[in-house]
Amino acid sequence: MNANVINANARTRRTNLEVLRTLVAISPPPWRRLIGAMLLGLAAAGTTVGLLAGSGALIDRAALRPGLATIAGLLAVVEVLAVLRAPLRYAERLHTHEAAFGALGHWRLWLYDRLEPLLPGALGAWRSGDLLHRAIDDIEALTDLYSRAPGTVGVAVAVSALSVVAVGSLLPLGAAILGAALAVAVVGSPLLAITGRTRVDERALAGQLTAEVVELVQGAPELLAFGLDETFRARAEATAERLARLERRRTRAMAAASALVVVCLGVAVVGTLAAAVSAAREHRLEGIMIAVLPLTAIGAFEAVAPLGTLAIRILDVLDAGRRLLALNEVPAPVSDPSNPVALHDSVPTPPEGVAVAFDDATLRYRLDRPPALDAVSFAVPPGSATAILGQTGAGKSSIVNALLRFWPLEKGSVTVNATSLEQMRQADARRVFALLDQDARLFAGTIRQNVALGRPEATAAEIAEALRAAQLDEWVRSLPNGLETPVGESGNQVSSGQRRRIALARALLVRRPVLLLDEPTTNLDDETADALIDTVLAAALGRTVVLVTHRSEDLRCMDQILTLDRGRVVATSHR
């Protein structure tokens, strides 16, 4: 009952600058690389302007038939610029993207490290599909922060300024017209583009869609059986449709932004041309420069065109960043002590049984609810076997959560060989226990991979031994591919009983002093279950055993039986 509900969609109001600063602080962009890329981009844009202006001048001058020598220089410039532009642009793009995708890897690990201490329990209101969307798409949206954003803005501004200055040296009026048109485009197109955004958090909606599809896939059997598949599919498709509508809106705004740029370009071309024509007639401008002005405008606008899209992308980066940083705000339920006791001080290696004791332990998931464990005290002597009984919801899983330090105690302590678990690093505390979890969760992979999850270095003989103790050896032998048979995602290609026993073999294989088995005999027939308890206790070999069970037959060989009710130990019996 980890009902620690935190509103996943509550967006903390961080300003854009704060978000940007935090993102950069967590994974700083490779500034030198970005500056290099920007210079390359500037050079590429410069060649575009130069090529257009240069060839215009070339043709105008040639039209006056001045002789080959006068235009030879221009000819050479035009050719060099024509050939230079492509490799410059190639180098720029490669440079920026190399930097960006390295950063994404860093972000995925950051996300994993954030999530790791929060599961299970602390991410109450979060859906795995939404988290998946954060891990894949939101992180990918950060690409623009590391690649295009800084360079494109820099290049656009620099090229605009330089073009205006260059035109200004020829004809101030032309510069004014070009400058005004560029200014409208530079400011107007991003503003127009971002009108495509609504107050709907598009990324949250996309995360919701992923979550809904994950639910569809994982809940498919029940949905089909209850005839609700169409309802749930319609729900997901409606979400997708809402997203598509938002995307169309975005496209409209971006298309309007690029249309604005084309209109501004038209104004610049017509304006500078008219100014040039009248200036040439009044001999304020050399005739051969008439074409240079509009062509410079065309070149300059090429650098300005991507700004609208870029504005949207930058806001995307901020939205995605917000969704990632939201994970920073979820407190981890348990943290490591500052001066941890080393594991080997309290726990022997190789493992033999250790003493486990609960002393007045109280555990509570939500302050407004009664405690899940209420002043629980009991002791498990080294090498003994203790069974925990209790009705559904009596607090059995909370015992497991307390032992594995998945959830902190409100009061009291849990000790292993008289050392409190709270004094150990969490990883060390967990190394005391070999767990068969209640859900018997398996991972996509083979039987071997799943059994050896906790000890990948285990030998074939050890794995065979664990399988035998889990009463699985016969079944595995009967499979055409034996141990290499895939179990499917979360083990959904094997039966419930087989899944549970694979999880049991996995627990038996790790050499840890306490076997903590949550319902090892569920989903098994009595014959198998009886044999299983015997072989498991034999395999325990002096290790301490804590068994959560429902079957009274499992209690035969137990040294101690505890009964829990509403988080309290209501009965204790010793053999």
Partner 1 sequence: MPGRLDRRLLAEVRGARRGLAIAVATGLGAAVCIVVQAGLLARIVDRALLHHAAVAAVTPELVGLGAAFVVRALLQLVGEIASQKSATTITSELRHELLDEAFRLGPAWLAGERTGELSLTATRGINALNTYFGRYLPQATVALITPVGILAWLAAVDWPSALILLGLLLVIPPVIAAFTKRARQEAARRWRSLASLSARMLELLQGLPTLRAFGRQEHGRREVAEATESLRRGTMRTLRVSFLSALSLDLLAGLGTGLVAMVLGLRLLHGDVSLSLAMAVLLVSPEVFAPLRRASAEYHASAEGKVAAERVLDVLAQSRRQATAPHERPTARWSLPRSGANPTLATPRTTGTAPELSRSTIELVEVGVRFAGGVRALSGVNLVIAPKEHVLVRGRSGTGKSTLLSVLLGFVTITSGRARIGGVDLGTLDAAGWRELRRQMAWVSPRPYVFRGTLEDNLRMGNPELGEAAIERVLQRCGLCRVVSRLPEGLATPVGEGGAALSTGERQLVALARALLTDAPLLLLDEPLAHLDEETAATVDANLASALDGRTVLWAGHHVPTRRHFDQVLDLPTSPAAADPTTHGHRAPPPLSRTGSLRSS
Residues 523-562 that bind partner 1 (CB under 8 A): 523-528, 550-552
Q: Which is nearer to partner 1, 18 or 410 (CB)?
A: 410
Q: How far is the CB of 358 from partner 1 (least distance, A)?
A: 19
- Using the rule CB under 8 A, is 517 a contact of partner 1? no
> What whole-number distance in Å separates Cα of residue 177 and Cα of residue 174?
5
- Return the residues of window 303-362 that contact partner 1 according to CB under 8 A: none
Q: Which is nearer to partner 1, 21 or 113 (CB)?
A: 113
Q: Which is nearer to partner 1, 126 or 358 (CB)?
A: 126
Strands 514-518 and 433-436: parallel
- Using the rule CB under 8 A, is 128 a contact of partner 1? yes
Q: How far is the CB of 511 from partner 1 (least distance, A)?
A: 12
- Using the rule CB under 8 A, is 125 a contact of partner 1? yes
Site string for partner 1, 467-486 (x = CB under 8 A): -------xx--xxxx----x
- Using the rule CB under 8 A, is 569 a contact of partner 1? no
Q: Which is nearer to partner 1, 20 or 444 (CB)?
A: 444
CB 60 within 8 A of CB 289: yes
Q: Which is nearer to partner 1, 251 or 572 (CB)?
A: 251
Q: Which is nearer to partner 1, 281 or 575 (CB)?
A: 281
- Return the residues of window 85-104 that contact partner 1 according to CB under 8 A: 85-87, 89-90, 93-94, 97-98, 101-102, 104
Chosen residue from 14, 114, 242, 430 binding partner 1 by CB under 8 A: 430
Query: DSSP letters along 259-285, please?
Result: HHHHHHHHHHHHHHHHHHHHHHHTTSS
And the tokens for 245? 């509508």
| For helices 526-540 and 460-469, angle between their N-to-C axes, nearest 10 degrees | 130
> What whole-number distance in Å separates Cα of residue 125 and Cα of residue 477?
43
> What whole-number distance in Å separates Cα of residue 433 and Cα of residue 426?
12
End-to-end CA, the chain: 31
- Using the rule CB under 8 A, is 141 a contact of partner 1? no
- Using the rule CB under 8 A, is 404 a contact of partner 1? yes
Neighbours of 443 (CB within 10 A): 12
- Judge residue 568's burial from the number of C-beta atoms within 10 Å of its C-beta, 0-12 exposed, 13-18 middle, 19 or more buried: middle
Helices (H) and strands (E) in the chain, counts: 21, 10
Query: Would you state the torsion angle of the CA atoms of residues 175, 176, 179, 183, taken in this order, to the nearest 10 degrees?
Result: 180
Site string for partner 1, 180-219 (x = CB under 8 A): --------------------------x--xxx-xxxxxxx
Chosen residue from 496, 542, 572, 573 binding partner 1 by CB under 8 A: 496
- Using the rule CB under 8 A, is 226 a contact of partner 1? yes
Q: Which is nearer to partner 1, 381 or 393 (CB)?
A: 393
Q: How far is the CB of 159 from partner 1 (least distance, A)?
A: 18
Site string for partner 1, 244-273 (x = CB under 8 A): x--xx--xx-xxx-xxx-xx-xxx-xx--x
Quick one: how far is CA 563 from the chain centroid? 42
- Judge residue 133's burial from the number of C-beta atoms within 10 Å of its C-beta, 0-12 exposed, 13-18 middle, 19 or more buried: buried
Chosen residue from 23, 78, 385, 463 binding partner 1 by CB under 8 A: 78
CB 215 within 8 A of CB 232: yes
